[in-house]
Amino acid sequence: MTRLFGTNGIRGIVGPEMNADLALKMGRAIGTSFGGGTVALGRDTRLSGPMLARAAASGLMSAGCDVIDLGVVPTPCEQFFLAKSGHLKGGVVVTASHNPREFNGIKALDARGMEMRREDEETIESIFFDGTFHVAAWSEVGSIRSDDAANHQYLEAILAKVDVAAIRKSAFTVIVDPGNGAGCVVTPYLLRSLGCRVISLNGQPDGAFPGRMPEPIPDHLGDLMRVVSEVHADLGIAHDGDADRAIFVDDKGSFVYGDKSLALLAKAAIQGRGGTVVTPVSTSSLIDDVVGAAGGRVVRTRVGSPIVARTMFETGAAFGGEENGGVIFPDHQFCRDGAMSAAKMLELLAHEGKRLSSLTAALPQYHLKKTNVSVPVERRDAVLASLVELTKGRKVDTTDGVKIVEPDGAVLVRPSGTEPIFRVYAEGRTPERAEALAKEGADLIEKALGRR
Ligand code: MG
């Protein structure tokens, strides 16, 4: 059967791939699989969001579901709304997360606010492809109402989970760059509630993304890094388009790779109590060193936050997250949460009484280099197969993609679940080694493509 859902919902370019027809049918299929009941609906700031969300809402109502329209919300806000309400059937989010502005997407959430299990996605896919939609009778058609309190409740819930007094006392200066995405409606207000002096960049919701592209990577965060250093701020915070991720810039204006912030947050989460930390195979070995030293253990999974969250839920993990800034705090909720990560980072800085640049400098030093190589979707499987072939005889881990492990570093090469690219994650004990391993990974892809 054809797959509809990728690692994080359905994504595509608005118009040819992601359009009203698809959103309507997705709404009908998801509503049919829920079998009625009440469903939350939220979206990020993308220009096509209202069009797709209304189509999805029509589909849900036609299948007999009542819809609560949350409007523009960070994805973790909708997830919290579901987790807290406890009686909704699930949720639909219209977002393309970190993807470029021409994209949009749809993902389905379960009653707990978690990304759906693969089996449940397959049920929706089969309804979608077989056309076995439930068509509600005239008297059973669903209703729709708006709820604009979700963002406020979410913000209050985060405040209840951090040491507000300690953070307030530190009176941090923070530059926040939500990148005109859904984070605009929560994070600047959260930071103000935490007593920070807040300067927002790209702080107005705007799906044209005039300030920067939605993915929080160094190439897109030049303004944030410059402003943090110019105003001598304590911290810079950037989100992706739906604010389930948070990436940090230190007090010197340097980009902090998500592997490092993850390690620091992991240490704070398990210090003194131990526990399991769940992270995908793409995260730097740094996490093993830091978690091991703090008395915890690391469990590795395939790449994708739904897998990390599900594994955490099933194993009762203390903490988890990814190298891209997606961090999961299980006593808050089982999903990545950008605003929560921001609050927890401030709490960590307040408790440690140290600057982020000195905390990262004290970590075991791994140098990271991440790049992408574009690979047409139709060649993905063939490229992956030849990568396995090309690395025969070497020490490799094939949990997800191909990870070549060397005594002084490693490089993981794997296809993105949402874009026509292969991602290359390299780490080395020196910057040169990381560069060399990243180049080797990229060269292997080129070779597999027959370009070399
Ligand atoms: Mg996201």
* Residue-range domains of the chain with CATH: 10-147 (3.40.120.10), 153-361 (3.40.120.10), 367-448 (3.30.310.50)
For residue 122, the CA-to-ligand 1 centroid distance in Å is: 22
pLDDT in tens, 278-299: 999 999 999 999 999 999 999 9
pTM above 0.95, yes or no: no
For residue 244, the CA-to-ligand 1 centroid distance in Å is: 5
pLDDT in tens, 393-443: 999 999 999 999 999 999 999 998 778 899 999 999 999 999 999 999 999
For residue 139, the CA-to-ligand 1 centroid distance in Å is: 38
Q: Does pLDDT of 1 surpass 70?
A: no
Q: Does pLDDT of 7 surpass 80?
A: no
pLDDT in tens, 376-385: 989 999 999 9
Integer Cα distance of 10 and 4 in angstroms? 6
For residue 305, the CA-to-ligand 1 centroid distance in Å is: 10
Integer Cα distance of 297 and 169 in angstroms? 33
Integer Cα distance of 27 and 17 in angstroms? 16
Residues ≥6 apart with Cβ < 8 Å to 326? 244, 245, 258, 305, 308, 336
For residue 102, the CA-to-ligand 1 centroid distance in Å is: 15
Which of 257, 315, 250 lies closest to 283 in space, CA to CA? Answer: 257
pLDDT at residue 189, rounded to an integer = 98
The residue-averaged pLDDT of 307-316 equals: 94
Share of residues in the chain with pLDDT > 90 (%): 94
SS3 category, 94: strand
Question: Chain-centre distance of CA 16, in angstroms?
Answer: 25
- The answer to whether 126 is a known catalytic residue is no
Q: Does pLDDT of 126 surpass 70?
A: yes
The residue-averaged pLDDT of 328-343 equals: 97
Q: What is the mean pLDDT of the chain?
A: 96
User: Any idea of the CA torsion for 77, 187, 363, 408, to the nearest 10 degrees?
Assistant: 60
pLDDT at residue 6, rounded to an integer = 81
Taking CA 443 as the corner, what is the angle to CA 429 and CA 433, rounded to the nearest 5 degrees? Answer: 10
The three-state (H, E, C) secondary structure of 357-408, written as one string: HHHHHCCCCCEEEEEEEECCHHHHHHHHHHHHHHCCCCCEECCCCEEEEECC
Residue 3: pLDDT band with limits 50, 70, 90 = confident
Identify the sign of the CA torsion 206, 207, 211, 214: positive
Structure token digits, residue 186: 């929560």
Q: Which of 48, 58, 62, 97 is catalytic?
A: 97
For residue 156, the CA-to-ligand 1 centroid distance in Å is: 21
Q: Does pLDDT of 259 surpass 90?
A: yes
Residues ≥6 apart with Cβ < 8 Å to 279? 262, 287, 298, 299, 300, 301, 308, 320, 321, 322, 323
Dump strand ranges (E) for 240-375.
Answer: 246-249, 255-256, 275-280, 296-301, 319-321, 327-328, 367-374
The residue-averaged pLDDT of 236-241 equals: 98
DSSP 276: E
Integer Cα distance of 253 and 225 in angstroms? 5
Greatest mean pLDDT range, 4-13, 97-106, 412-421? 97-106
Q: Counting every residue, how long is the chain?
A: 452
CA atoms within a 13 Å half-sphere pointing along the CA-CB vector of 309: 27
Question: Chain-centre distance of CA 136, in angstroms?
Answer: 35
The three-state (H, E, C) secondary structure of 136-172, written as one string: CCCCCCCCEEECCCHHHHHHHHHHCCCCHHHHHHHCC
Residue 94: pLDDT band with limits 50, 70, 90 = very high
Residue 179: pLDDT band with limits 50, 70, 90 = very high
For residue 239, the CA-to-ligand 1 centroid distance in Å is: 8
